[in-house]
C-alpha cells in the first residue's frame, strides 16, 4: 500500500510536547484521527494530551486540515491526502 506524507503543525502546549512540525508518513486513506494517534504514539503520555480515557478526542483540541477547521467528532471520517497540513492546537488566547 502506498504511503502519504502529512505535515503537522503544533502550537503552544502541544508544540512543547510534540514538536512544532512533525512529519508523518501514513498509509493511504489515513484519517485525521489516525494522524493524531501516530502523533500521540511518538512521545511519552502523548495520548493523554489528545484523548479522553474513552478514546474520544478531548473537547478542547482544535484541528485544522489545510487551514480549515475539522470538528473533532469528524476526525475519524476525514481522510488526509498526500501533502496535507494538519494543525493541532489548544484553545486560542489572543487579543
Partner 1 sequence: MIRVQQEDVDIAAMIAAAKRPESGAVVVFNGIVRNDDIDAMEVEAYEEVALRDMEAIREEAVGKFHLHSADIVHRIGRLAVGENIVVIVVGAGHRSEGFRGCEYILERIKERVPFWKKEYRKEGASWVKGHREPRRVPTRTCLCPASFFHFAVPKSTLIDAAGDGTFMKPDHYMPPEFRAAIITVSSSRTPETDTSGTKIRELLALDHVPVVHYAIVPDRVDAIQSGLARALELANCIVLNGGTGLTHDDCTIEAVSPLLEKRIDGFGELFRLKSFGEIGTSAILSRAVAGVIRGKVVFCIPGSTGAVTLAMKEIILPELGHILTHANK
Site residues (vs partner 1, CB under 8 A): 9, 11-13, 15, 59-60, 62, 64, 67-69, 71-73, 87, 89-95
Distances (CA, A) of 7 to 51, 54, 68, 78: 20, 27, 14, 16
Which CB sits closer to partner 1, 71 or 82?
71
Q: Where are the beta strands (DSSP E) in the chain?
A: 3-10, 23-27, 62-65, 68-70, 85-89
Minimum separation from the CB atom of position 74 to partner 1 (A): 8
Which CB sits closer to partner 1, 9 or 47?
9
Give alpha helix (H) positions in 1-95.
12-18, 32-41, 46-50
Minimum separation from the CB atom of position 90 to partner 1 (A): 6
Minimum separation from the CB atom of position 44 to partner 1 (A): 19
Which CB sits closer to partner 1, 3 or 58?
58
Q: How far apart are CA 56 and CA 1, in angstroms?
A: 27
Which CB sits closer to partner 1, 3 or 83?
83
Cell readout for 46 is 502523548
Amino acid at each position: 500500500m502506498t504511503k502519504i506524507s502529512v505535515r503537522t503543525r503544533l502550537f503552544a502546549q502541544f508544540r512543547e510536547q510534540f514538536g512544532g512540525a512533525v512529519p508523518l508518513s501514513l498509509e493511504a486513506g489515513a484519517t485525521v484521527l489516525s494522524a493524531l494517534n501516530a502523533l500521540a504514539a511518538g512521545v511519552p503520555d502523548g495520548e493523554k494530551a489528545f484523548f479522553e480515557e474513552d478514546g474520544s478526542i478531548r473537547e478542547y483540541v482544535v484541528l485544522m486540515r489545510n487551514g480549515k477547521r475539522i470538528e473533532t467528532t469528524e476526525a475519524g471520517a476525514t481522510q488526509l491526502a498526500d501533502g496535507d497540513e494538519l494543525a493541532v492546537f489548544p484553545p486560542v488566547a489572543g487579543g
